[in-house]
Protein backbone atom coordinates (compact mmCIF):
# COMPACT_ATOMS: atom_id res chain seq x y z
CA UNK A 1 0.00 0.00 0.00
CA UNK A 2 1.47 3.41 -1.00
CA UNK A 3 2.22 5.86 1.83
CA UNK A 4 1.90 8.85 -0.49
CA UNK A 5 -0.71 11.39 0.64
CA UNK A 6 -1.91 13.77 -2.05
CA UNK A 7 -2.98 17.37 -1.42
CA UNK A 8 -6.56 16.37 -2.22
CA UNK A 9 -6.55 13.52 0.33
CA UNK A 10 -4.91 15.72 2.96
CA UNK A 11 -7.44 18.53 2.50
CA UNK A 12 -10.40 16.15 2.89
CA UNK A 13 -8.81 14.57 5.98
CA UNK A 14 -8.25 18.01 7.57
CA UNK A 15 -11.80 19.15 6.90
CA UNK A 16 -12.83 17.42 10.13
CA UNK A 17 -10.69 19.99 12.06
CA UNK A 18 -13.51 22.41 11.26
CA UNK A 19 -16.73 20.86 12.62
CA UNK A 20 -19.11 22.95 10.49
CA UNK A 21 -17.04 22.77 7.30
CA UNK A 22 -19.02 22.00 4.18
CA UNK A 23 -16.02 21.52 1.92
CA UNK A 24 -16.03 25.03 0.37
CA UNK A 25 -12.56 25.95 1.61
CA UNK A 26 -11.28 22.54 0.53
CA UNK A 27 -12.62 23.13 -2.97
CA UNK A 28 -11.07 26.59 -3.06
CA UNK A 29 -7.65 25.16 -2.15
CA UNK A 30 -8.15 22.48 -4.78
CA UNK A 31 -8.87 25.18 -7.42
CA UNK A 32 -5.68 27.03 -6.45
CA UNK A 33 -3.74 23.76 -6.70
CA UNK A 34 -5.05 23.13 -10.23
CA UNK A 35 -4.15 26.63 -11.46
CA UNK A 36 -0.67 26.38 -9.95
CA UNK A 37 0.02 23.13 -11.81
CA UNK A 38 -0.82 24.87 -15.09
CA UNK A 39 1.40 27.82 -14.18
CA UNK A 40 4.22 25.44 -13.23
CA UNK A 41 3.97 23.76 -16.62
CA UNK A 42 4.44 27.13 -18.35
CA UNK A 43 7.20 28.35 -15.98
CA UNK A 44 9.28 25.26 -16.72
CA UNK A 45 9.03 26.09 -20.44
CA UNK A 46 10.00 29.75 -19.92
CA UNK A 47 13.47 29.28 -21.45
CA UNK A 48 11.81 28.15 -24.65
CA UNK A 49 10.18 31.56 -25.11
CA UNK A 50 12.60 32.53 -27.88
CA UNK A 51 11.81 29.35 -29.75
CA UNK A 52 8.09 29.48 -29.20
CA UNK A 53 7.77 33.25 -29.58
CA UNK A 54 8.08 36.30 -27.30
CA UNK A 55 5.29 37.99 -25.40
CA UNK A 56 3.07 39.88 -27.79
CA UNK A 57 3.96 37.57 -30.69
CA UNK A 58 2.23 34.56 -32.17
CA UNK A 59 3.80 31.19 -31.32
CA UNK A 60 4.15 28.22 -33.63
CA UNK A 61 0.72 26.91 -32.63
CA UNK A 62 -0.75 30.22 -33.77
CA UNK A 63 -1.56 31.21 -30.17
CA UNK A 64 -0.76 34.56 -28.67
CA UNK A 65 2.24 34.26 -26.32
CA UNK A 66 1.62 36.04 -23.05
CA UNK A 67 4.05 37.28 -20.46
CA UNK A 68 4.13 34.69 -17.70
CA UNK A 69 2.84 36.99 -14.97
CA UNK A 70 -0.16 37.86 -17.13
CA UNK A 71 -0.64 34.18 -17.95
CA UNK A 72 -0.48 33.21 -14.25
CA UNK A 73 -2.96 35.94 -13.33
CA UNK A 74 -5.42 34.69 -15.95
CA UNK A 75 -5.07 31.06 -14.85
CA UNK A 76 -5.84 31.81 -11.21
CA UNK A 77 -8.72 34.11 -12.09
CA UNK A 78 -10.18 31.46 -14.41
CA UNK A 79 -9.85 28.65 -11.84
CA UNK A 80 -11.38 30.76 -9.05
CA UNK A 81 -14.17 32.08 -11.28
CA UNK A 82 -15.45 28.69 -12.36
CA UNK A 83 -14.81 26.99 -9.00
CA UNK A 84 -17.89 28.58 -7.40
CA UNK A 85 -16.34 29.21 -3.95
CA UNK A 86 -14.90 32.71 -4.47
CA UNK A 87 -16.92 35.91 -4.98
CA UNK A 88 -14.07 38.37 -5.64
CA UNK A 89 -10.32 38.41 -6.27
CA UNK A 90 -7.68 41.03 -5.52
CA UNK A 91 -4.50 40.61 -7.55
CA UNK A 92 -1.19 42.45 -7.79
CA UNK A 93 -1.80 42.53 -11.54
CA UNK A 94 -5.14 44.39 -11.34
CA UNK A 95 -5.73 47.87 -10.01
CA UNK A 96 -9.26 47.08 -8.80
CA UNK A 97 -10.83 43.93 -7.43
CA UNK A 98 -12.18 41.35 -9.87
CA UNK A 99 -15.80 40.76 -9.03
CA UNK A 100 -17.09 37.27 -9.76
CA UNK A 101 -20.69 37.54 -10.79
CA UNK A 102 -21.86 34.20 -12.12
CA UNK A 103 -24.48 31.63 -11.22
CA UNK A 104 -22.13 29.13 -9.56
CA UNK A 105 -20.48 31.78 -7.32
CA UNK A 106 -23.64 33.48 -6.03
CA UNK A 107 -23.42 31.70 -2.67
CA UNK A 108 -19.62 31.84 -2.46
CA UNK A 109 -18.33 32.64 1.03
CA UNK A 110 -14.73 33.58 0.31
CA UNK A 111 -12.56 36.24 -1.31
CA UNK A 112 -9.00 35.56 -2.47
CA UNK A 113 -6.08 38.01 -2.58
CA UNK A 114 -3.04 36.92 -4.57
CA UNK A 115 0.25 37.78 -6.14
CA UNK A 116 0.05 35.43 -9.13
CA UNK A 117 3.76 35.47 -9.99
CA UNK A 118 5.96 37.06 -7.36
CA UNK A 119 9.54 37.81 -8.39
CA UNK A 120 8.59 37.60 -12.07
CA UNK A 121 11.65 39.64 -13.10
CA UNK A 122 13.62 36.49 -12.26
CA UNK A 123 11.96 34.27 -14.86
CA UNK A 124 14.28 35.32 -17.67
CA UNK A 125 17.29 34.05 -15.71
CA UNK A 126 15.77 30.75 -14.57
CA UNK A 127 15.48 31.69 -10.90
CA UNK A 128 12.60 30.39 -8.75
CA UNK A 129 9.41 32.44 -8.68
CA UNK A 130 6.19 31.91 -6.73
CA UNK A 131 2.48 32.50 -6.26
CA UNK A 132 1.21 33.87 -2.93
CA UNK A 133 -2.44 33.59 -1.89
CA UNK A 134 -4.60 34.67 1.03
CA UNK A 135 -8.20 33.68 1.73
CA UNK A 136 -10.77 35.64 3.77
CA UNK A 137 -14.38 34.99 4.63
CA UNK A 138 -16.47 37.68 2.93
CA UNK A 139 -18.04 40.47 5.05
CA UNK A 140 -20.87 41.27 2.64
CA UNK A 141 -23.84 38.96 2.88
CA UNK A 142 -24.40 37.75 -0.66
CA UNK A 143 -24.06 38.61 -4.35
CA UNK A 144 -20.74 39.53 -5.93
CA UNK A 145 -17.88 40.39 -3.54
CA UNK A 146 -16.98 43.99 -2.66
CA UNK A 147 -13.84 45.99 -1.90
CA UNK A 148 -14.81 46.04 1.81
CA UNK A 149 -14.58 42.24 1.88
CA UNK A 150 -10.80 42.63 1.53
CA UNK A 151 -10.36 45.44 4.07
CA UNK A 152 -9.69 43.10 6.99
CA UNK A 153 -6.77 42.53 9.31
CA UNK A 154 -4.38 39.71 8.40
CA UNK A 155 -5.47 38.01 11.62
CA UNK A 156 -8.81 37.30 9.89
CA UNK A 157 -7.23 35.13 7.19
CA UNK A 158 -8.87 31.74 6.91
CA UNK A 159 -6.02 30.24 4.91
CA UNK A 160 -2.87 31.39 3.17
CA UNK A 161 -0.12 29.81 1.18
CA UNK A 162 2.45 30.02 -1.53
CA UNK A 163 3.56 27.92 -4.44
CA UNK A 164 7.24 27.94 -5.31
CA UNK A 165 8.17 27.12 -8.89
CA UNK A 166 11.72 25.97 -8.19
CA UNK A 167 13.91 22.94 -8.85
CA UNK A 168 10.73 21.20 -7.81
CA UNK A 169 7.30 22.78 -7.48
CA UNK A 170 5.94 23.01 -3.93
CA UNK A 171 2.78 24.26 -2.30
CA UNK A 172 3.01 25.37 1.33
CA UNK A 173 -0.15 26.44 3.13
CA UNK A 174 -1.84 26.96 6.47
CA UNK A 175 -5.44 27.11 7.63
CA UNK A 176 -4.34 28.24 11.09
CA UNK A 177 -3.49 24.77 12.35
CA UNK A 178 0.17 24.50 11.44
CA UNK A 179 1.94 24.60 8.10
CA UNK A 180 2.24 21.76 5.61
CA UNK A 181 4.26 21.49 2.41
CA UNK A 182 3.46 19.44 -0.69
CA UNK A 183 5.83 18.66 -3.55
CA UNK A 184 4.48 18.17 -7.06
CA UNK A 185 5.25 14.70 -8.36
CA UNK A 186 5.29 15.36 -12.12
CA UNK A 187 4.91 11.67 -12.93
CA UNK A 188 1.41 11.55 -11.40
CA UNK A 189 0.60 15.29 -11.61
CA UNK A 190 -0.24 15.49 -7.90
CA UNK A 191 1.05 17.56 -4.98
CA UNK A 192 2.18 15.01 -2.35
CA UNK A 193 2.71 15.72 1.35
CA UNK A 194 6.50 16.02 1.73
CA UNK A 195 6.93 18.53 4.60
CA UNK A 196 4.33 17.81 7.32
CA UNK A 197 4.00 20.25 10.23
CA UNK A 198 6.74 22.67 9.17
CA UNK A 199 8.48 24.55 12.00
CA UNK A 200 11.02 27.29 11.56
CA UNK A 201 14.03 27.44 13.94
CA UNK A 202 13.73 30.06 16.69
CA UNK A 203 17.23 31.33 16.00
CA UNK A 204 19.42 30.92 12.94
CA UNK A 205 22.40 32.33 11.08
CA UNK A 206 21.05 33.74 7.83
CA UNK A 207 19.91 37.25 7.00
CA UNK A 208 18.27 38.19 3.70
CA UNK A 209 18.09 41.80 2.56
CA UNK A 210 18.97 43.80 -0.56
CA UNK A 211 22.15 45.37 0.83
CA UNK A 212 22.54 47.48 -2.30
CA UNK A 213 20.03 49.84 -0.67
CA UNK A 214 22.15 50.10 2.53
CA UNK A 215 22.67 53.87 2.51
CA UNK A 216 18.90 54.41 2.44
CA UNK A 217 18.02 52.02 5.28
CA UNK A 218 16.78 53.28 8.66
CA UNK A 219 19.55 53.40 11.29
CA UNK A 220 18.06 50.41 13.14
CA UNK A 221 18.45 48.18 10.05
CA UNK A 222 21.98 49.47 9.39
CA UNK A 223 23.02 48.66 12.97
CA UNK A 224 21.35 45.25 12.88
CA UNK A 225 23.19 44.34 9.66
CA UNK A 226 26.48 45.41 11.24
CA UNK A 227 25.61 43.21 14.24
CA UNK A 228 25.03 40.24 11.85
CA UNK A 229 28.44 40.83 10.29
CA UNK A 230 30.44 41.12 13.53
CA UNK A 231 32.70 38.28 14.66
CA UNK A 232 31.49 36.54 17.83
CA UNK A 233 32.03 32.84 18.55
CA UNK A 234 29.38 32.66 21.29
CA UNK A 235 26.58 33.64 18.88
CA UNK A 236 28.16 32.05 15.77
CA UNK A 237 28.55 35.36 14.05
CA UNK A 238 29.12 36.56 11.40
CA UNK A 239 25.88 35.26 9.93
CA UNK A 240 25.51 34.31 6.28
CA UNK A 241 23.89 36.70 3.85
CA UNK A 242 21.51 35.01 1.38
CA UNK A 243 19.33 37.05 -0.95
CA UNK A 244 17.80 35.67 -4.12
CA UNK A 245 15.58 38.68 -4.76
CA UNK A 246 12.59 36.41 -5.27
CA UNK A 247 10.59 36.75 -2.08
CA UNK A 248 8.92 33.33 -2.05
CA UNK A 249 12.27 31.61 -2.66
CA UNK A 250 14.07 33.60 0.07
CA UNK A 251 11.28 33.06 2.58
CA UNK A 252 10.88 29.37 1.72
CA UNK A 253 14.59 28.78 2.36
CA UNK A 254 14.48 30.74 5.62
CA UNK A 255 11.33 28.90 6.72
CA UNK A 256 13.13 25.59 6.42
CA UNK A 257 16.65 26.47 7.61
CA UNK A 258 15.84 29.54 9.73
CA UNK A 259 16.76 33.15 9.12
CA UNK A 260 15.38 36.65 8.80
CA UNK A 261 14.07 38.36 5.67
CA UNK A 262 13.94 42.15 5.76
CA UNK A 263 12.50 44.58 3.23
CA UNK A 264 12.65 47.90 5.06
CA UNK A 265 11.81 51.41 3.93
CA UNK A 266 14.27 52.83 1.39
CA UNK A 267 14.57 56.14 -0.47
CA UNK A 268 12.94 54.54 -3.52
CA UNK A 269 10.24 52.82 -1.45
CA UNK A 270 9.58 55.12 1.54
CA UNK A 271 6.74 52.88 2.74
CA UNK A 272 8.54 49.63 1.93
CA UNK A 273 8.15 47.73 -1.32
CA UNK A 274 6.02 44.73 -0.47
CA UNK A 275 2.23 44.76 -0.36
CA UNK A 276 0.35 44.11 2.86
CA UNK A 277 -2.72 42.35 1.46
CA UNK A 278 -1.32 39.73 -0.90
CA UNK A 279 2.37 39.45 0.02
CA UNK A 280 3.05 40.31 3.67
CA UNK A 281 -0.15 39.10 5.39
CA UNK A 282 -0.15 35.60 3.86
CA UNK A 283 3.60 35.17 4.42
CA UNK A 284 3.15 36.43 8.00
CA UNK A 285 0.34 33.92 8.64
CA UNK A 286 2.52 31.07 7.40
CA UNK A 287 5.63 32.08 9.34
CA UNK A 288 3.67 32.60 12.58
CA UNK A 289 2.02 29.21 12.19
CA UNK A 290 5.52 27.75 11.78
CA UNK A 291 6.65 29.39 15.05
CA UNK A 292 8.24 32.52 13.55
CA UNK A 293 7.33 36.21 13.60
CA UNK A 294 6.48 38.98 11.14
CA UNK A 295 6.48 42.71 11.88
CA UNK A 296 6.97 46.04 10.12
CA UNK A 297 9.91 46.70 12.46
CA UNK A 298 7.60 47.77 15.31
CA UNK A 299 4.18 46.22 14.99
CA UNK A 300 2.84 42.79 14.08
CA UNK A 301 2.10 42.62 10.33
CA UNK A 302 -1.25 40.84 10.71
CA UNK A 303 -2.62 43.59 12.99
CA UNK A 304 -1.97 46.44 10.58
CA UNK A 305 -4.92 48.40 9.23
CA UNK A 306 -5.50 47.93 5.53
CA UNK A 307 -6.73 51.12 3.88
CA UNK A 308 -6.10 50.37 0.23
CA UNK A 309 -5.73 47.28 -1.92
CA UNK A 310 -2.10 47.81 -2.94
CA UNK A 311 -0.87 49.30 0.35
CA UNK A 312 2.83 48.74 1.06
CA UNK A 313 4.62 47.99 4.32
CA UNK A 314 8.15 47.32 5.52
CA UNK A 315 8.62 43.63 6.41
CA UNK A 316 10.78 41.86 9.02
CA UNK A 317 9.93 38.16 8.86
CA UNK A 318 11.46 34.89 10.01
CA UNK A 319 12.96 33.18 13.05
CA UNK A 320 11.32 34.60 16.18
CA UNK A 321 14.48 35.56 18.09
CA UNK A 322 16.07 37.18 15.05
CA UNK A 323 12.96 39.26 14.33
CA UNK A 324 12.80 40.33 18.00
CA UNK A 325 16.42 41.38 17.90
CA UNK A 326 16.05 43.35 14.64
CA UNK A 327 12.97 45.08 16.11
CA UNK A 328 14.92 45.98 19.25
CA UNK A 329 17.44 47.74 17.00
CA UNK A 330 14.59 49.50 15.19
CA UNK A 331 13.11 50.77 18.43
CA UNK A 332 16.44 51.85 19.87
CA UNK A 333 17.59 53.77 16.80
CA UNK A 334 14.24 55.22 15.73
CA UNK A 335 14.46 57.44 18.80
CA UNK A 336 17.93 58.73 17.92
CA UNK A 337 16.84 59.16 14.28
CA UNK A 338 13.78 61.15 15.37
CA UNK A 339 15.98 63.35 17.56
CA UNK A 340 18.28 64.26 14.58
P1 LIG B 1 7.23 41.88 -7.36
O2 LIG B 1 5.93 41.54 -6.68
O3 LIG B 1 7.11 43.06 -8.27
O4 LIG B 1 7.84 40.68 -8.03
O5 LIG B 1 8.21 42.37 -6.20
C6 LIG B 1 8.37 41.60 -5.06
C7 LIG B 1 9.79 41.10 -5.02
C8 LIG B 1 10.03 40.04 -3.99
O9 LIG B 1 9.78 38.78 -4.52
C10 LIG B 1 11.48 40.24 -3.66
O11 LIG B 1 11.81 39.79 -2.39
C12 LIG B 1 11.66 41.70 -3.81
O13 LIG B 1 10.63 42.17 -4.65
C14 LIG B 1 12.97 42.06 -4.44
O15 LIG B 1 13.08 43.42 -4.54
P16 LIG B 1 14.49 44.13 -4.85
O17 LIG B 1 14.85 43.75 -6.25
O18 LIG B 1 14.21 45.58 -4.67
O19 LIG B 1 15.48 43.60 -3.83
MG1 LIG C 1 4.99 40.47 -5.74
- Give 281-321 pLDDT, tens digit per residue: 999 999 999 999 999 999 999 999 999 999 999 999 999 99
What Rg do the C-alpha atoms of the chain give, in angstroms? Answer: 20
Q: How far is the CA of 278 from the centre of ligand 1 (A)?
A: 13
Ion ligand 2: protein residues whose beta carbon lies under 5 Å: 115, 118
Question: How many Å apart are CA 313 and CA 276, to the nearest integer?
Answer: 6
**Nearest ligand (C-alpha, residue 129):** 1
Dihedral (Cα; 280, 283, 286, 290), 10-degree rounding: -100
Strand partners, 36: none
pLDDT band of residue 20 (cuts 50, 70, 90) is low
Whether 46 and 121 have beta carbons less than 8 Å apart is answered as no
Q: Which of 117, 127, 211, 273 to mutate to test the pocket of ligand 1 (most atoms within 8 A of CB)?
A: 273
324 strand-pairing partners: none
Q: What is the pLDDT of residue 53?
A: 47
pLDDT > 80? residue 17: no
Average pLDDT for residues 56-70, to the nearest whole number? 64
The three-class DSSP label of residue 274 is coil
Q: How many CB atoms lie within 10 A of CB 262?
A: 24
Question: For the chain, first and last CA: distance in Å?
Answer: 68
* CB-neighbour burial class of residue 305 (10 A; exposed 0-12, middle 13-18, buried 19+): exposed
Locate the ligand 1 atom nearest the alpha carbon of residue 275 and give its number.
2
pLDDT of amino acid 107: 86
pLDDT tens readout for residues 275-286: 999 999 999 999
Residue nearest to atom 4 of ligand 1 (CA): 119
Residue 84 region by backbone torsions, left for phi larger than 0, else alpha for psi between -120 and 50, else beta:
left
Ligand 1 shell residues, CB under 6 Å: 92, 115, 118-120, 210, 245-247, 250, 273
Calpha distance 41→331 (Å, rounded): 45
Compute, in degrees rounded to 10, the torsion defined by CA atoms 87, 90, 91, 93. Answer: 100
Domains, in order of start, for the chain: 7-195 (3.30.540.10), 206-339 (3.40.190.80)
| pLDDT above 90 for 337 | no
Amino acid sequence: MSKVKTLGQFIIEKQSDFPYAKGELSRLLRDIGIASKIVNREVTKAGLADILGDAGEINIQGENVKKLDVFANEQFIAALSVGGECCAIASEENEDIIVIDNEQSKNAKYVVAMDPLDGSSNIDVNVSVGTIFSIYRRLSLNGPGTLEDFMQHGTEQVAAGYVIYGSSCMMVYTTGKGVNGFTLDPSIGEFCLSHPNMQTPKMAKTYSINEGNYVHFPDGVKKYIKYCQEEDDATSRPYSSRYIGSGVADIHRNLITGGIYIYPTTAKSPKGKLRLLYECNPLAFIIEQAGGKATDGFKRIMEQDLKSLHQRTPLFLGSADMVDQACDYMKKYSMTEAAK
